Chain A
């Protein structure tokens, strides 16, 4: 059995952890938090995309939109199974928790109200997913998670392509198609940036870095995301509130970060100036407008069917 200091040193020397028996309490706890965020995000993206898929404009787009939903649910299942192997109950996580206790990002508690918003979600949110998970894949010290991510990365790349191809199509068309796309970008670009969390200068110690459950910091991950997303927006003639700075050799934001968000109006209050992160945490904690609806929609018929099965006479 390792001490906390020993396991931190070993994983940075390349040791792969393969079983729960090898973990220290600190390692196990950090891994559980990481996997719960991952599993909840995959799970809740499904009802968010499912509600939006009603806006798919053709049978072909219905197929691709639903194929993405199928992938997300499979990814959620895989992450919850990894949690079960750490001694956490999937049953309790999915069906027993208050919807407010789910750990998916605030961005996935928002309604996606038209086809443009769904494709921008694929282009932006799934890009954030790939950014976070490729870093985990490249750096994690937990063998079972690294193996599980091979499939996940392959499929998230398809979601991203779907988003980008459709963004390109709407942008090229101009007129109302482009206007709807720009409106989606306006609220979803800052939403995704906020998702990466506290800036490094304010971030207290990260267990996930100490245990090598990931490799990059929040600010580094935000830069990776912008490195793909800002040029994408520029190439499509879309306005995005960030630019490359030669001086700092990084992407810089053109608005106060963080700032107030009006979920009802889907509007970021850039004019209201920078707000303290405590206010952002309060907004996240209160969850977004669709939180309960999304959680309930993955639970809806469970108890009814379990009731049929449990009351059935044994065959």
Chain B
């Protein structure tokens, strides 16, 4: 990825108090500060009660060995079983 975009950040949000925090999308950004701005501006379809961004590299899968986070397991063994 280019110097303008850096890495992937996953975006989580909940619409109302009492709602679950859900994965709603992702942005490419060179750092966490721009990721926060890009996430707020990109996912402006609802007036969220709460929104957070997480660097994708920090999301470590527990039971799966595939998908976008698989590379973050760094050889850790699979816990539980995948369906």
Chain A interface residues (CB < 8 Å from chain B): 18-22, 70, 74, 77-78, 81, 84-85, 90-91, 147-148, 151, 154-155, 302, 305-306, 309-310
Contacts of B3 in A (CB 8 A): 306, 309-310
A305→B3 CA distance, assembly (Å): 10
Of the candidates B1, B2, B24, B42, the one whose C-beta lies within 8 Å of that of A74 is: B42
Main secondary structure of the interface of A (DSSP, over half): helix
Q: CA of A178 to CA of B11 in the docked complex: distance in angstroms?
A: 45
* Of the residues A81, A151, A306, contact of B45 by C-beta under 8 Å: A151
- In addition to A74-B43, A78-B42, A84-B8, 9 A-B residue pairs with Cβ atoms within 8 Å of each other are A21-B66, A22-B66, A70-B41, A74-B42, A81-B28, A91-B2, A151-B24, A305-B4, A306-B4
A309 touches B4 (CB 8 A): yes
Given A18-B67, A21-B66, the answer on whether A302 and B4 have CB atoms closer than 8 Å is yes
Set of chain A residues within 8 Å of B8, measured between Cβ atoms: 81, 84
Contact of A19 (CB < 8 Å), options: B4, B24, B42, B67: B67
Q: When chains A and B are docked, how far (Å) is the Cα of A20 from the Cα of B64? A: 13
Residues A306 and B25 in contact, CB atoms below 8 Å apart: no
Kindly state the separation between the CA atoms of A75 and B67 in the bound complex, as whole angstroms. Answer: 22
Chain A residues contacting B53 (CB-CB under 8 Å) are none
- Chain A, Cβ-Cβ closest to B64: A19
Cα separation A85 to B1 with both chains bound (whole Å): 12
Minimum CB–CB distance for B65 against chain A, Å: 8
CB-nearest residue of chain B to A85: B68
B55 nearest CB across to chain A (Å): 14
What is the chain B residue whose CB lies nearest that of A309?
A: B3
Expressed in whole angstroms, the Cα–Cα distance for A19 and B41 within the complex equals 27
Residues of A contacting B70 in the complex (Cβ-Cβ under 8 angstroms): 19, 21
Task: Report chain A residues within 8 Å CB of B2.
Answer: 91, 306
The answer for the CA separation of A291 and B50 in the assembled complex, in Å, is: 40
Known interface pairs A306-B2, A309-B3. Does A81 touch B67 (Cβ–Cβ under 8 Å)?
Answer: no
Pairs across A and B, CB under 8 Å, 11 listed = A18-B66, A19-B67, A21-B70, A74-B41, A81-B26, A84-B28, A147-B23, A151-B24, A151-B25, A306-B3, A309-B4
Complex Cα–Cα for A85 and B70 (A): 12
Q: With contacts A81-B28, A91-B2, A309-B3 known, is A154 near B45, CB below 8 A?
A: yes
| Cα distance A246–B78 in the bound complex, in angstroms | 61
CB of A261, distance to nearest CB on chain B (Å) = 35
Contacts of A147 in B (CB 8 A): 23
Task: Evaluate contact between A77 and B42: CB separation under 8 angstroms.
Answer: yes
Q: How far is the CB of A313 from chain B (nearest CB, A)?
A: 14
- Residues of B close to A77: CB separation below 8 A: 27-28, 42
Residues of chain B contacted by A19 (CB below 8 angstroms): 64, 66-68, 70
Query: Given A305-B4, A306-B4, are A21 and B26 neighbors across the interface (CB < 8 Å)?
Result: no
Which of chain B's residues have a CB closer than 8 A to the CB of A81?
8, 26-28
Residue of A nearest to B68 (CB): A85
Taking CB as reference atom, which chain A residue is nearest B30? A309
Q: Which 9 A-B pairs have CB atoms at the shortest separation, nearest pair first? A: A21-B66, A19-B66, A19-B67, A74-B42, A151-B45, A154-B45, A309-B3, A85-B68, A81-B26
Cβ B67 vs Cβ A21 within 8 A? yes
Nearest-neighbour CB distance to chain A for B78, whole angstroms, equals 14
Q: Which residue of B lies closest to A310 (CB)?
A: B3
Closest to A78 in B: B25
Rounded to whole angstroms, the CA-CA distance of A91 and B41 in the bound complex is 21
